[in-house]
Chain A
Amino acid sequence: MNLILFGLLNIVGILLMLVIGAALLTWIERRLLGFWQDRRGPNRVGPFGSLQVVADMIKILFKQDWIPPFADPVVFVLAPAVVMVAALLAFAVVPVTPSIGIAGNLNIGILFFLAMTSLSVYSVVLAGWASNNKYSLLGGMRAAAQMVSYEVFMGLALIGVVMLTGSFSLADIVRAQQELWFVVPQFLGFIVFMIAGIAETHRLPFDLPEGENELGAGFHTEYSSMKFGMFFVGEYIGIILVSAMIVILFFGGWQGPLLPPILWFAIKTGAFVGFFILLRAALPRPRYDQLMAYGWKLMLPLSLLNIAVTGAVMLTH
């Protein structure tokens, strides 16, 4: 009985944390961008503007929920749901601490994570297609090519970690980093995974599917109200997810001295989320074909090299 209750608490707790965290991130990101761009950012609602999230929520929920007459209504509604569901489901396998986490010990944890991130590609493609708008279509097309390609490198980058641990379970991977974080032996893997992760969440400099200077808003041009909000929240959950995965795979997850595990996990994840935002403040956007060339000509050989070297080192030991 207690076990079930604890499990339920875990699920509800993580769900709430994620949604609230993603909502807060919209505010944190704008404040941080403001700080880096010599301006203030939202600072009027509540202490330091933190209630801006609530104000935005109210606004976005009360906006007219509009489906363009030329769109395919079923797919149009489905697309934003897919992105949020996929991102939330992926969190099921994330072991926050040894005790917190829904299915951290799942023996195919990494595969499940990869499967879920692959699913989120559908939402972008479907949104671009169902909107029946040329800009959305271009965005969807870019998204399909970009995310499918970077999926490949993401998967390959993880192989090294899996080889070292001998397990697909994320909890096992964290435990295997007791002595040494995998970022040291798997530095190449870390770099490739992080870049692929940014591409997966389509954030600057890989925000080509949205590319506001070129495509208006890309695949979500036609979306308004909470359906747009779901894309937005889905994107932020994606950022948290990728940051959490980096921490788990390469930075020892919840492990760390003195502080309780949950705090360590939060601090490390937060640092990467901050880094993502900093990237957005700093970098321009490459061109579509440059992005693909970069992926297939640089990232792919790098990740293959990483696997080969890891294998060779393991064989000699």
Chain B
Amino acid sequence: MLQRTASIHTEPPIARELADRFRSRFVKVQPTCDDIPTIWVEREHLRETLHYLKSEAPDPFRMLFDLTALDERMRTHRADQPESDFTVVYHLMSFTRNQDVRIKVALSGETPSLPTISDFWPNANWYEREVWDMFGVTFTGHPHLTRILTPPTWTGHPLRKDHYARATDMGIYDLSEEKEIAEQEALRFRPEDWGMVRQSESTDFMFLNMGPNHPSVHGVFRLILQLEGEQIVDVVPEIGFHHRGAEKMGERQSWHTYIPYTDRIDYLSGVMNNFPYVMAVERLAGIEVPPRAQMIRIMMAELFRIASHLVFFGTMSQDVGQLSPVFYMFTDRERVFEIIEAVCGFRMHPAWFRIGGVAADLPQGWDRLIGDFCAYLPKRLDEYVKLVMQNRIFKARTVGIAAYTLDEAIDWGVTGPGLRACGIDWDCRKKRPYSGYDQLEFDVPVYTHGDCYDRTMVHVEELRQSVRIIRQCIKNMPSGPYKSDHRLTTPPIKERTMHDIETLITHFLNVSWGPVIPPGEACVGIEASKGMNAYYLTSDGDTMSYRTRIRTPSFPHLQMIPLISRGAFVADLIALIGSIDFVMADVDR
């Protein structure tokens, strides 16, 4: 928090760098609650600025971490910012500097437009489609600007402030036969739309529709394969079947009541989703979390990392045809859930973190319960490595299969185990320690080939590291309160009420309406089980968020599938999908 006040008042070096480079005064710096330099640029300078940052700058910002937008028309607390109806936000990341930068562009009018940057960063393709879908911002020069999350028949742009948010605003839903046929017709795949041909000189291609219901696509995910025999010529991934409008819900829920929604974003990682959200809110509110709460958070997040990785490991081996390991690993995951249930009273979606701490203190005997599990798991892992990783058929199916290079990974926005399998030790917990990870000892497993096997190996090693972290948490759990005594924590502290009418009213309001979080912007990212998960919150000084942006790791990972699977076999694609470790709810939100 000390850093925060300091950074607001000094100009970030990157802003000076940009000003020097372009010798102009278009650079405007906006103070934010996080430490990310936020720079406004004019629409016409956008492409050259981004190009400079990506390719020319010393220690360039090579990854497009996020690209999103903001409907500013209803926002009241933005006096120090340029006039804007819609603001498009580019969030870039530099590994060499270990720094982020946020570039903002102000747009005006009902039909705003911007030049595309999908030729700089291939992963901008889907992000721009999403922004078009959600905000109606067109990107000129984009190769395929169509809806991505909502159905092709949708009208309107859901994240605009004038778009309805509740089903009750929509009128009665009726699926008549004509409508059903029209909806299905809209989903029909036409290869020509994607620049594909139906036949080559020698052969007619087969177009195979894989999903949205298919045993290997892990949820509702549709892949359209262009096949020549069993060889893949091209792939078109289609997402959005799991879209629930989680970001829109954030604008209708109080800061506190939104926590359970976050659990369901990456539904395998439970409280790990709460983590970036509550930290972002705490950033906005300036809440300091007591050490015990921080340690509890780390411990629970690591337990969920184990649960999620076990599911990954089991389904990965099942995807290449091994029937048994998935049962062993689900049994072990059940043990994790027993612990989580004992602590949180809930299994998959405990919504256990609170703004300012956690919901309750650890139960009696928690240390023995978790300690037993930490003693049990490593032995089992040794067996699983023998069973799966050392199996020759498994190796034949995964070694050298669906590999991508480090450059490709960075270009496409890959984070998490998929990135660490390419030979870079980028782990948020180490590079940007949050919540006290810097006090814990653990290694960041790194592999170099970037293939399915290495991605799986990274997961396996991370399981061991998580056990190691949890052991340290048990040993060093600090005493003290499990929640901050800040006035904006939720639920508000009961002991402070019942003194006089004022305290009673304050408590009542903070419970019923929820706390009013001061205006500002904060983006907090963590190392989630599948990669970097970040919440970019914009507060307009209300009981609800003005804009909740959820940057999930699975979204860019899926976008990469066509690149890696061209020329491979259908069976390789299955291995690739298995090794990505994604959850459709995490992709579609």
- Point out residues on A near B: beta carbons under 8 Å: 33, 36-39, 134-135, 138, 141-142, 204-205, 207, 211-216, 280-290
Q: A213 to B320, alpha carbons, bound, how many Å?
A: 7
B317, B321, B323: which has the most chain A beta carbons within 10 Å?
B321
Q: B376-396 vs A: 1/0 string, CB under 8 Å? A: 000000000000000101101
Instruction: Please indicate the chain B residues that have their CB under 8 angstroms from the CB of A282 in the complex.
Output: 322, 324
Q: Which of these, A33, A134, A135, A288, contacts B571 with CB under 8 Å?
A: A288
Q: B300-340 vs A: 1/0 string, CB under 8 Å? A: 00000000000000000111111110011001000000000
CB of A173, distance to nearest CB on chain B (Å) = 33
CB of B91, distance to nearest CB on chain A (Å) = 36
Instruction: Please indicate the chain A residues that have their CB under 8 angstroms from the CB of B319 in the complex.
Output: 213
Inter-chain contact B321/A33, CB cutoff 8 Å: no
**Contact A211-B324, Cβ < 8 Å, known A38-B331, A138-B570, A216-B215:** no
- Chain B count of residues within 8 A CB distance of the other chain: 29
Instruction: Please indicate the chain B residues that have their CB under 8 angstroms from the CB of A290 in the complex.
Output: 396-397
Q: B116-160 vs A: 1/0 string, CB under 8 Å? A: 000000000000000000000000000000000000000000000
Instruction: Please indicate the chain A residues that have their CB under 8 angstroms from the CB of B216 in the complex.
Output: 213-214
Judge whether B572 is part of the interface by a CB distance below 8 angstroms.
Answer: yes
Inter-chain contact B323/A287, CB cutoff 8 Å: no
Q: A142 to B215, alpha carbons, bound, how many Å?
A: 19
> What are 30 pairs between A and B in contact, CB < 8 Å?
A36-B324, A37-B328, A135-B208, A138-B208, A205-B321, A207-B321, A211-B321, A213-B216, A213-B318, A213-B321, A214-B574, A215-B570, A216-B215, A280-B323, A281-B323, A284-B317, A284-B320, A284-B321, A284-B322, A285-B320, A285-B321, A285-B397, A286-B393, A286-B397, A287-B397, A287-B569, A287-B571, A287-B572, A288-B569, A288-B571
> How many residue pairs at the A-B interface have CB separations less than 8 Å?
79
Instruction: Please indicate the chain B residues that have their CB under 8 angstroms from the CB of A204 in the complex.
Output: 321, 323
Q: Which residues of B (318-372) have their CB < 8 Å from a CB of A?
A: 318-324, 327-328, 331
Q: Which residues of B (210-231) have their CB < 8 Å from a CB of A?
A: 214-216, 229-230
Instruction: Please indicate the chain B residues that have their CB under 8 angstroms from the CB of A138 in the complex.
Output: 208, 230, 570
Contacts A141-B230, A280-B323, A284-B393 known; 15 new A-B pairs at CB < 8 A:
A39-B327, A134-B206, A135-B208, A142-B230, A213-B215, A213-B318, A213-B319, A214-B571, A214-B574, A283-B391, A284-B397, A285-B322, A286-B393, A289-B569, A290-B397
Inter-chain contact B215/A288, CB cutoff 8 Å: no
CB of A19, distance to nearest CB on chain B (Å) = 26
Q: A33 to B324, alpha carbons, bound, how many Å?
A: 8
CB of A234, distance to nearest CB on chain B (Å) = 21
**Contact A213-B206, Cβ < 8 Å, known A283-B391, A285-B321:** no
Instruction: Please indicate the chain B residues that have their CB under 8 angstroms from the CB of A134 in the complex.
Output: 206, 208-209
Q: List the 4 shortest-distance A-B pairs measured between CB atoms, nearest first.
A: A285-B321, A284-B322, A37-B327, A284-B321
Instruction: Please indicate the chain B residues that have their CB under 8 angstroms from the CB of A33 in the complex.
Output: 323-324
Instruction: Please indicate the chain A residues that have their CB under 8 angstroms from the CB of B208 in the complex.
Output: 134-135, 138
Inter-chain contact A216/B572, CB cutoff 8 Å: no
Q: B564-575 vs A: 1/0 string, CB under 8 Å? A: 000001111010
Q: A97 to B436, alpha carbons, bound, how many Å?
A: 74
Q: Which of these, B209, B229, B391, contacts A284 with CB under 8 Å?
A: B391
Q: B386-412 vs A: 1/0 string, CB under 8 Å? A: 000001011011000000000000000
Q: A284 to B571, alpha carbons, bound, how many Å?
A: 12
Instruction: Please indicate the chain B residues that have their CB under 8 angstroms from the CB of A280 in the complex.
Output: 323
Instruction: Please indicate the chain B residues that have their CB under 8 angstroms from the CB of A288 in the complex.
Output: 230, 569, 571
Q: A135 to B214, alpha carbons, bound, how many Å?
A: 11
Inter-chain contact B215/A212, CB cutoff 8 Å: yes
Q: A39 to B206, alpha carbons, bound, how many Å?
A: 41
Instruction: Please indicate the chain A residues that have their CB under 8 angstroms from the CB of B321 in the complex.
Output: 204-205, 207, 211, 213, 283-285
Inter-chain contact B393/A283, CB cutoff 8 Å: yes
CB of A86, distance to nearest CB on chain B (Å) = 26
CB of B352, distance to nearest CB on chain A (Å) = 29
Instruction: Please indicate the chain B residues that have their CB under 8 angstroms from the CB of A283 in the complex.
Output: 321-322, 391, 393
Instruction: Please indicate the chain A residues that have their CB under 8 angstroms from the CB of B394 in the complex.
Output: 284
Instruction: Please indicate the chain B residues that have their CB under 8 angstroms from the CB of A215 in the complex.
Output: 570
CB of B567, distance to nearest CB on chain A (Å) = 13
